[in-house]
Amino acid sequence: MADKFDVIVIGAGPGGYVSAIRAAQMGLKAAVVEKWISEDGKPVFGGTCLNVGCIPSKALLEASHKFVEAKHDFDDMGIQAGDVSMDVKKMMARKDTIVKNLTGGVAGLLKGNGVTAIQGTGKVVSSKQVEVTDQDGKTTTYDADNIVVAAGSVPVEIPPTPLKEGLVVDSTGALEFQETPKRLGVIGAGIIGLELGSVWSRLGSEVTVLEAMDDFLPMVDGAIAKETQKLLKKQGLDIRLGARVTGSEVKGEEVVVKYTDAKGEQEMTFDKLIVCVGRKPYTQGVIADGVGIETDERGFIHVDDQCRTSVPSVYAIGDCVRGPMLAHKASEEGVMVADIIAGHKAEMNYDAIPNVIYTFPEVAWVGLTEQEAKSKGIEVKTGSFPFAASGRAMANNATEGQAKIIADAETDRVLGMHIVGQHAGEMVAQGVIALEFGSSAEDLALTCYAHPTMSEAVHEAALAVEGHAIHMVNRKKKK
């Protein structure tokens, strides 16, 4: 008979493996089920994030950015780099090594914390049972007092652009190119599309991004989104808004894409096409019929604020439940659920989840945009500071972008922080902390920041909320 566990987690991505480790740390007997296997048949941990998402894409973004710096920016600093070239295959090999090291590291963490790793495809078959089918088709049923579904998500496919290996690919396929395509099409101007488009644009591709929506980055503050679009266009990304793809055809080694925009029917030919129009929850087949766990028409599992499903003892976290599909959101939910199962009080602040786009410059935000706050009837005051006025940004050759803070006009409480600039993803943590602790803009303004740092832009933006920025001329505030 199979072992019985206090908790079994289905999925070893950033939500699942974190939840299993936390549960073990809380003294619970924990297991994690993962179907991903390596070429030699061993379980591969880390999910989409470590294997084909966050980590490998950042490896390519960093390498391609350094290539651009060496080719175009070093000369301004007096560095003579000579004829710079990129070995794409070597770049990809480095990416693969990073992934292997990190996934192996997760395996070590699970073992070191006493978590039982079970290879196979997990399915919830009752409120306290998980059936696991291994790669040979053998099934084993495990009993557990609690079950956590952390099955993650998969890329959305659209009928007009069916995938074709090597030519029409999703975000996973775009991480495997072995040479730079001359003409690259990207469907979707979201986080994934802009990041992958940036990688290959830096390496010499003519990149065209087709976005069906009329607004660029609508989830970002309007001023930040407008500046980001301008900067990416300057870098060579041809971003076409209101461009709805209607069909595609593979002709030899080319892809012909048809779309409609304000001018009518359009057609473009690419050497490669990346389809990144979003992701959907991977829940089909994860829950047996009749268990009673409620899902919506898109496959998302219904949960409450503490990730409990409609079935007692079954929880769900990460990409397969409501909220942004972000690795760090999944991880925090995993910790919360493990703590609850262990008998502790735990909650999560869904209003303080940061987002980052790892283009250059980076785009990062947390909380409300100015537009969202006003739509909620909140009177706001804002402060912005450009990196063009930052001494550290000048020294770094990174003067593009700005930091912006949105605060409640009556209480001065910080409602949101939006940044486009070098290291924005690091700086936005200040906004997360401010929201978590209910800080005021004045709290940030009265904080002593190290000089010179990029973070001083946040300090100056906080000062600018009341028109007191030091290192720029303040606009007169309306009384």
CA distances from 323 to 52, 237, 248, 268, 355 (A): 21, 29, 32, 35, 12
Average the pLDDT over 371-380 and give the result.
98
Q: Which of 451, 459, 468, 471 is catalytic?
A: 451
At 171, give phi and psi (nearest 5°).
-60, -30
253/37 Cα distance (integer angstroms)? 31
Average the pLDDT over 140-168 and give the result.
97
Q: Is 131 exposed, middle or buried (0-12, 13-18, 19+ CB in 10 A)?
A: middle
pLDDT at 479 over 70: no
| Residue 451 bears catalytic tag | yes
Domains of the chain (ranges, CATH numbers): 4-154+280-348 (3.50.50.60), 168-277 (3.50.50.60), 352-464 (3.30.390.30)
Average the pLDDT over 160-167 and give the result.
96
Average the pLDDT over 166-192 and give the result.
97
Confidence of residue 250 (pLDDT cuts 50, 70, 90): very high
In angstroms, how far is the first alpha carbon of the chain from the final one? Answer: 74
Tokens representing residue 51 in the block: 């294997």
Q: pLDDT tens-digit profile of 289-334?
A: 999 999 999 999 999 999 999 999 999 999 999 999 999 999 999 9
Tokens representing residue 454 in the block: 């990029």
Q: Is the dihedral of CA 103, 105, 279, 190 positive or negative?
A: negative
104/170 Cα distance (integer angstroms)? 25
The residue count for the chain: 479
pLDDT at 478 over 70: no
Instruction: Please report the pLDDT score of residue 383 as a whole number.
Output: 98
Confidence of residue 113 (pLDDT cuts 50, 70, 90): very high
Instruction: Please report the pLDDT score of residue 67 as a whole number.
Output: 97
**Percent of the chain surpassing pLDDT 70:** 99
